[in-house]
Amino acid sequence: MTATIFANARLIDPVALTDGLGGILISDGQIVAIHEADMPSPKDANVIDCGGMCLAPGIVDIGVKVSEPGERHKESFRSAGQAAAAGGITTIVTRPDTLPAIDTPETLEFVERRAQADAPVHVLPMAALTKGREGREMTEIGFLQDAGAVAFTDCDRVVSNTKVFSRALTYASSLDALVIAHVQEPILSDGAAVTSGKFASLRGLPGVSPMAERMALDRDISLLEMTGARYHADQITTARALPALERAKRNGLNITAGVGIHHLTLNELDVADYRTFFKLKPPLRSEDDRLAVVQAVADGLIDIISSMHTPQDEESKRLPFEEAASGAVALETLLPAALRLYHADMIDLPRLFRALSLNPSRILRRNSGRLLPGAPADLVLFDPDAPFQLDRTQLLSKSKNTPFDGAKLQGKVLGTWVDGQRIWEGA
């Protein structure tokens, strides 16, 4: 394979936490060398002049909903893969909350075949933790792991039976399998559409206290102390949950945490007009919570940022706010939305890509997310300052339920490479 040089690039290195001009040599799908200045060109090398634009490891997105099997009209592997490529995402880690749930090796193998045939990006599937995601009986974790499952989760259905959850954690621990949990106390959260408080009361919407997140996290941390499992909290969205997370990490528990991009860039006031594209699970939080969580990402307490991409069709969103389905698409908006934090001087680019690329790869024990020799040549080239106004009808996702419709954003993906092959070329 012909070698390729990325010259005159602004290299964003989440390992060294550096941001400076340099070049990268790739060959046979891997990074071969990194230079802090323009690289000498090997004979017959293909040279890509990056024009001083940012070159970073491709984004690794944990928690993407692809609606195959069962709801292919909402999102397919082909449409999700194209949207991911356009968003600078080179690996999507898919959720098992499909119809039926991905809870058997046969269903998992179907997903892997469809993904390999249709998606231009890497697809790593997760499997359900309990059968049917019903919280009563754990799945065959060992068989599913052998079939390719990279983690186990019931997604937004909390396993409320503590005995079932503790047994699943114990069994997962014996296999060194990763368990991903949704930290919301299920009884308090039942029927909630927004975060409780004065704003929710003024709007007449049923709310849930931020303490529901803290209570669920405290329970899970206790079970981690008992079982020693590898555990990831999918979304930490409130300031009250952060001290518990910090103590658990300080005490040496094998715990990591993430946050969805919408909770980093939006707050509860955005639902003022009852726009159902802003209905998420967990609901949007107060501005104080948002700022606390952004700081936790900058400090490294919260490990990863994800899209929590959840496609919903028009019929499920064009309902009264309480009745509408939760979730938003975000594969194509993840990077420009995250760059809002960079432009607001809240987090620098290397730390941003630590949360978008490096830490997800570490949690999954993958060699991606790095600008290092030997790492896969999964890369994104982007202009962090390019302005545009989002038109949701132009999104490549089948579903268009984005809260950023009409929003003014900065940051355009100019190119995406997977294993050294260009899969997206921006305008």
Over residues 378-392, the pLDDT tens digits come to: 999 999 999 999 999
User: Is the pLDDT confidence value at 168 over 80?
Assistant: yes
Q: Which residues contact 118 (CB under 8 A, 6 or more apart)?
A: 76, 77, 78, 81
| CA proximity to 282, closest of 259, 303, 305, 311 | 259
Residue-range domains of the chain with CATH? 57-363 (3.20.20.140)
Residue 1 has pLDDT above 90, yes or no: no
Please give the residue that has the higher pLDDT: either 44 or 148: 148
Q: Are 354 and 371 in contact (CB under 8 A)?
A: no
User: pLDDT at position 259, please?
Assistant: 98
Residue 82 has pLDDT above 90, yes or no: yes
> Are 292 and 259 in contact, with CB atoms under 8 Å apart?
no
The predicted pLDDT at position 45 comes to: 83
The model's pLDDT over 115-139, given as tens digits with 9 standing for 90+, comes to 999 999 999 999 999 999 999 999 9
**pLDDT, tens digit, for every residue of 308-366?**
999 999 999 999 999 999 999 999 999 999 999 999 999 999 999 999 999 999 999 99
Strands (E), 103-177: 122-125
Q: What is the pLDDT of residue 358?
A: 98
Query: DSSP readout, 342-389?
Result: HHTTSS-HHHHHIIIIIHHHHHTT-S-S--STTSB--EEEEEEEEEEE
Closest C-alpha among 328, 254, 249, 340 to residue 294: 340
Strand, helix or coil at 424? strand
Has residue 184 got a pLDDT over 70? yes
Q: Where are the alpha helices (DSSP H) in 160-210?
A: 162-174, 186-189, 198-203
What pLDDT band is residue 101 in, cutting at 50, 70 and 90?
A: very high
Q: What secondary structure, in 3-state letters, does 40-80 show? A: CCCCCCEEEECCCCEEEECEEEEEECCCCCCCCCCCCHHHH
Residue partners of 403: CB distance under 8 A and separation at least 6: 262, 266, 270, 275, 277, 278, 328
pLDDT of residue 198: 83
Strand partners, 193: none
The region, left, alpha or beta by phi > 0 then psi within -120 to 50, assigned to residue 413 is: beta
Residues 6+ apart with CB under 8 A from 80: 64, 66, 92, 119, 309, 331, 397
Using a pLDDT cut of 90, give the percent of the chain over it.
92
φ, ψ for residue 90, nearest 5 deg: -105, -15
Residue 42, pLDDT > 90, answer: no
Between 264 and 193, whose confidence is greater?
264
35 vs 399 pLDDT, higher one? 399
Cα 329 from Cα 82, distance rounded (Å): 13
pLDDT given at position 40: 65
Distance of alpha carbon 14 from alpha carbon 304, whole angstroms = 12
* Closest to 264 measured CA to CA, from 244, 292, 242: 292
Please give the span between the terminal C-alpha atoms of the chain, in angstroms, as a whole number.
Answer: 27
- Nearest-CA neighbor of 384 among 338, 329, 330, 332? 338
